[in-house]
C-alpha cells in the first residue's frame, strides 16, 4: 500500500524541478518551479552567497558523522589541523582547543572518479585526505546528496509561501558520459539512501549526462537561432572528465547527438 501511494504521487505533476550538479571538484543545485515553465532558474550551493558552487568536500568525525559540507568542510578541516598542531606542540594547551581538535576527524574530497570503472556489486572504499581514514563510497555519496537535497529544499522554501515535500520535487542528477549503467544505478541507490526518492527506480529521479544537460541549456538559450540541421559542439571540461559532443538541431526543437568522445582528466594530463 505504501508503494502504491508513492507511485500515485509520482503521477502528479511536480511542483519544482531540482538539478544536482555533483562534480569531482565542485557541486551545486539549480531549480525551477514548474508553474514558471522553466523560464526562471535559480542556482546556488550550501553557504555560498555569491558562487553558484561549493567544493565537493565532507568533514567527518571519528564515527563518520557529517560535521560540515562544501567550503565549510575545507575551512573546518584547516582549522582542525591548525589546532591539532597547537595541541601537539610543546606549548600547546588542550584545554583551549575546540571539541573537534581533541577528536580524530577526516576530510574527503575528489572522490567522484572512484566510481569510474567500478566492478559490478562493489562499493569502492574512499580514502580521506590524511591517507588513513576510509569510508564506503555509497555512504559518502549519500551524505553529499543529502546535504544538497536539504539545501535545495531550504533554498526553495525561501522563495515560496507554502510547505514543500520532497516527493513534490522532480530531481535530476548529472553524471559523466563515460559512466556505465551500473554506476548510474549506484547513483540512484545513493539518492535513495539520501532520501531524495523512496525507491531507486523512482520516476521522480532522472540521471542525465552532463554534456546532454549542457546541450539542452544551449538550445534553450539559442531558441530561434538554431536552424534545422545546424550543429554545435559542447566541450565539458571538468576536474574528473572531459566530454566532447557534437549536436545537431532537428525539427520540433529536438537535439540529435552526432558525435561523442570522453576522456578522464587524469588521462588528459598524462598526455
Task: List CB contacts of 187: < 8 A, sequence separation 6 or more.
Answer: 115, 141, 173, 175, 179, 207
Q: Is the dihedral of CA 38, 40, 45, 51 positive or negative?
A: positive
Instruction: Give pTM, 2 decimals.
Output: 0.83
Q: Which three cell numbers stand for residue 33?
A: 518551479
**Could you tell me which of 97, 111, 92, 89 has the C-alpha nearest to residue 27?**
111
Residue 6 has what pLDDT? 56
Cα separation, 30 vs 41, in Å, equals: 7
Mean pLDDT (the chain, rounded): 83
Report yes or no on 253 lying in a domain: yes
**What count of residues does the chain have?**
271
The cell for 191 is 539518492
User: Which has more confidence, 115 or 218?
Assistant: 115
70, 124, 158, 220, 228 from 26: Cα distances, Å: 8, 20, 23, 24, 35
Rounded-to-integer distance, Cα 30 and Cα 90, Å: 49
Count of the separate structural domains present in the chain: 2
Residue ranges making up the domain that contains 70:
57-108
- So what's the pLDDT on residue 1? 45
Residue 75 in any domain: the answer is: yes
Per-residue pLDDT tens over the stretch 176-198: 888 899 999 999 999 999 999 99
Return the higher-pLDDT residue of 123 and 238: 123
For the segment 50-97, what is each residue's pLDDT rounded down to a tens digit?
778 999 999 999 999 999 999 999 999 999 999 988 766 545 454 555
Question: Does some domain include residue 178?
Answer: no
Domain membership of residue 197 (yes or no) is no
Residue 68 lies in a domain: yes
Amino acid at each position: 500500500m505504501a508503494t502504491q501511494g508513492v507511485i500515485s504521487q509520482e503521477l502528479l505533476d511536480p511542483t519544482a524541478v531540482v538539478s544536482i550538479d555533483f562534480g569531482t571538484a565542485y557541486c551545486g543545485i539549480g531549480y525551477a518551479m514548474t508553474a514558471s515553465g522553466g523560464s526562471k532558474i535559480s542556482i546556488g550551493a550550501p553557504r555560498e552567497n555569491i558562487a553558484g558552487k561549493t567544493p565537493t568536500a565532507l568533514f567527518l568525525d571519528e564515527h563518520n558523522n557529517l560535521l560540515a559540507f562544501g567550503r565549510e568542510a575545507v575551512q573546518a578541516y584547516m582549522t582542525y589541523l591548525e589546532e591539532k598542531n597547537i595541541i601537539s606542540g610543546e606549548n600547546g594547551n588542550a584545554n583551549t582547543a575546540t571539541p573537534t581538535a581533541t577528536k580524530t576527524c577526516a576530510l574527503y574530497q575528489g572522490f567522484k572518479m572512484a566510481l569510474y570503472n567500478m566492478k559490478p556489486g562493489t562499493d569502492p572504499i574512499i580514502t580521506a585526505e590524511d591517507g588513513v581514514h576510509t569510508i564506503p563510497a555509497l555512504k559518502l555519496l549519500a551524505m553529499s546528496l543529502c546535504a544538497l537535497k536539504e539545501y535545495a529544499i531550504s533554498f526553495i522554501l525561501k522563495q515560496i509561501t507554502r510547505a514543500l515535500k520532497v516527493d513534490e520535487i522532480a530531481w535530476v542528477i548529472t553524471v559523466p558520459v563515460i559512466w556505465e549503467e551500473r554506476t548510474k544505478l549506484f547513483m540512484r541507490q545513493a539518492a535513495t539512501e539520501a532520501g531524495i526518492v523512496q525507491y531507486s527506480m523512482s520516476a521522480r529521479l532522472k540521471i542525465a549526462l552532463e554534456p546532454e544537460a549542457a546541450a539542452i541549456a544551449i538550445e534553450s538559450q539559442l531558441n530561434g537561432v538554431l536552424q534545422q540541421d545546424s550543429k554545435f559542439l559542447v566541450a565539458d571540461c571538468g576536474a574528473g572528465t572531459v566530454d566532447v559532443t557534437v549536436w545537431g538541431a532537428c525539427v520540433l526543437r529536438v537535439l540529435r547527438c552526432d558525435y561523442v568522445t570522453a576522456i578522464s582528466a587524469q588521462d588528459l594530463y598524462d598526455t
